Amino acid sequence: MGDTSTFYRTHTCGELRMEQVGQTVTLAGWMENIREVGQNLAFLVLRDFYGTTQVVLETEETVQAAKGLNKETVIAVTGAVRERDSKNPKLPTGDIEVVPAKIEVLGRCQHNELPFPVTRSREADESARLKYRYLDLRNPEVKDNIVLRCQVVSALRAAMTGHGFLEITTPILTASSPEGARDYLVPSRKHPGKFYALPQAPQQFKQLLMASGFDKYFQIAPCFRDEDARGDRSPGEFYQLDMEMAFANQEDVFAVLEDVLPPIFAKYGKYNTASAAPFVRIPYLEAMEKYGTDKPDLRIDLTVTDVTSLLAGCGFPPFEHQTVKAIVVSGFSGTRKQIDGLCNEVEVQSGNKAYWFRYDENGEIVGGIAKFVQPIKDQVVEALKLEKGCFVGLTAGAKLAAQKTAGVLRNKLGAFCPGHMDKERYEFCWIVDFPMYEIGEESGELEFCHNPFSMPNGGLEIIEKAIKGEVDPLSITAFQYDLVCNGVELSSGAVRNHDPEIMIKAFWMVGLEEEDVRSKFPAMYNAFTYGAPPHAGIAPGVDRMVMLLSGEESIREVIPFPMNKNAQDLMMGAPSTVEQSQLDELNIVITKTEE
């Protein structure tokens, strides 16, 4: 038992054992359930944060007292501990029960009907769970995720402190900055027409700390981004283990996380096996070619093969003048219905079709697009090293589309086919050498691919060559890296561009002049002109980390009070309208309201 008050209770509901038999105790908690056996006999389950205890009511007075209470009423029970006749080995307190002499109501539940049974809240509609989150969190299964989160955060803090990092908090009210997502803006009362922004990340502040002479910084940092939700992303607010190191390069950052994370994953994870250092390193372009994604799940042993030269001219119309990718699966035993189902799931997730054929036990090409492959069977069998019984999944399209669709297909096949995915482990990898620039899908112009503050691989020289037209900007890579675990991106990081000259020229490539850089990033640019050390950092997502450790599919299961997919707090009613007087004081006029 932890350090708990003895005014309302002498023990917790998870504490009593045979050693306490014969003692008079007081327990306090929520009345989870009551089962009447007769007028003078009932069994009551009392629950608190620590567990449950069976309370046996053996007098008409105590039965009637409890009978008039709604479930989830908070009560205190004082009585004698005795050994149970029918023990429950599934419960830590299953050997004992309490026979009360007194029941006191501490907090009455005034509702005859609950929105959902507390111990089965995970079966309820998510909207109901979020609206009544305080009831949902009473469910031990839900509560345990939050406890796990606390333990992981504590372990991360201890590990980072042990590595000589200082925990420093950075501002929440700051200036708007183009980090890649939409800002949450906060109007200033004292400065009409001007706004603060909630930080999308402490990126600039942590770099400024390095320029200020601090050597190793970290914090469990809140980040705010006005973006849409998905399974591994929470809208509005999320937390990350933010860190930065002075006089450090990529290897230094890798060494810290490779030492910090595996023990925590092995200790707190659903699976007790985690990658040991050094983690596998995969260049971005290789990851896209081999796995069809920059977030590969290395628990799956399947890889992607380029078969464009082999199949683009086979006569199958969707392959003509397209990039074609293949995934070979041995020992495939799926039915035609299951194959169609897999292909449908791939199309829904990727927006592109998947195709297939089989090399059967008789050495024949059958099923799917077999009639187009059959004429070149020998070449296909040799090129793909097919063995009898193999299944071949195929994707086609522009190069990036074919790659990404193959990545989705690989994940589906790995999860579906026995023997191709070792689910019960944590496999880490580093994705390195990201492109510095890309052509924007919407703008059609050159844009930063990742973090604009990253150091290009080749430094000033490579940027100057690109400016002169001697090097294709799209061929420039940066010292940027992602940490991936089981197909989930835990973090992005980079060696920072600490040289103002390189920074100015790197931004010039995307159409920003020196004055633009100075005006958009005044503090950081000016700080770097006073001498800044080389520095590097990373920021693994705490919410995603705990989601992986708990084995949950949705990140909302590991956040105490999450918003829903529409960025609404159903419990608190946020976002909400405010009084006109508040708007007037902030010089704000509402031009459009939600329909």
- Tokens representing residue 590 in the block: 């509402």
Q: Are residues 263 and 214 in the same domain?
A: yes
Q: Are residues 145 and 265 in the same domain?
A: yes
Residue 95 domain-assigned? yes
Q: Are residues 411 and 440 in the same domain?
A: no
Nearby residues of 144 by Cβ (< 8 Å), 6 or more positions away: none
Ranges of the chain with pLDDT below 70: 1-5, 178-180, 229-232, 595
**pLDDT at position 232, please?**
64
Nearby residues of 581 by Cβ (< 8 Å), 6 or more positions away: none
Q: Are residues 32 and 53 in the same domain?
A: yes
Nearest to 59 by CA among 84, 89, 38, 34: 38
**pLDDT at position 176, please?**
86
Report the alpha-carbon distance of residue 99 to residue 59 in Å, rounded.
10
**pLDDT at position 90, please?**
93
Residue 342 domain-assigned? yes
Residue 249 domain-assigned? yes
Q: Are residues 148 and 236 in the same domain?
A: yes
- Tokens representing residue 211 in the block: 């320029």
Return the HEC string of 120-159. Answer: HHHHCCHHHHHHCHHHHCCCHHHHHHHHHHHHHHHHHHHH
Q: What residue numbers bound the domain in which 473 lies?
A: 436-477+499-530
CATH number at residue 265: 3.30.930.10
Which backbone phi and psi does 242 adopt, to 5 degrees? -85, 130
Residue 590 domain-assigned? no
CATH number at residue 398: 3.30.1360.30
Biggest alpha carbon–alpha carbon distance for the chain: 94
Q: Are residues 262 and 150 in the same domain?
A: yes
Q: Domain ends where: 421, 456, 490?
A: 421
Residue 591 domain-assigned? no
Report the alpha-carbon distance of residue 189 to residue 198 in Å, rounded.
16
Q: How many domains does the chain have?
A: 4
Q: Are residues 156 and 256 in the same domain?
A: yes
Residue 126 domain-assigned? no
Residue 593 domain-assigned? no
- Tokens representing residue 194 in the block: 């001007």
Q: Are residues 315 and 201 in the same domain?
A: no
Q: Are residues 236 and 154 in the same domain?
A: yes
Q: Which of helix, strand or coil describes residue 220?
A: strand
Q: Are residues 330 and 417 in the same domain?
A: yes
CB 216 within 8 A of CB 240: no
**pLDDT at position 1, please?**
44
CB 505 within 8 A of CB 452: no
Q: How far is CA 165 from CA 117, 193, 220, in A?
A: 45, 39, 12
**pLDDT at position 331, please?**
85
Q: Are residues 440 and 548 in the same domain?
A: no
Partners of 496 in the β-ladder: 454
Which residue type occupies 150?
Answer: C
Helix (H) or strand (E) holding 56: strand 51-57
Residue 446 domain-assigned? yes
Report the alpha-carbon distance of residue 70 to residue 72 in Å, rounded.
6
Report the alpha-carbon distance of residue 130 to residue 234 in Å, rounded.
13
Q: Are residues 161 and 258 in the same domain?
A: yes
- Tokens representing residue 523 in the block: 């503090």
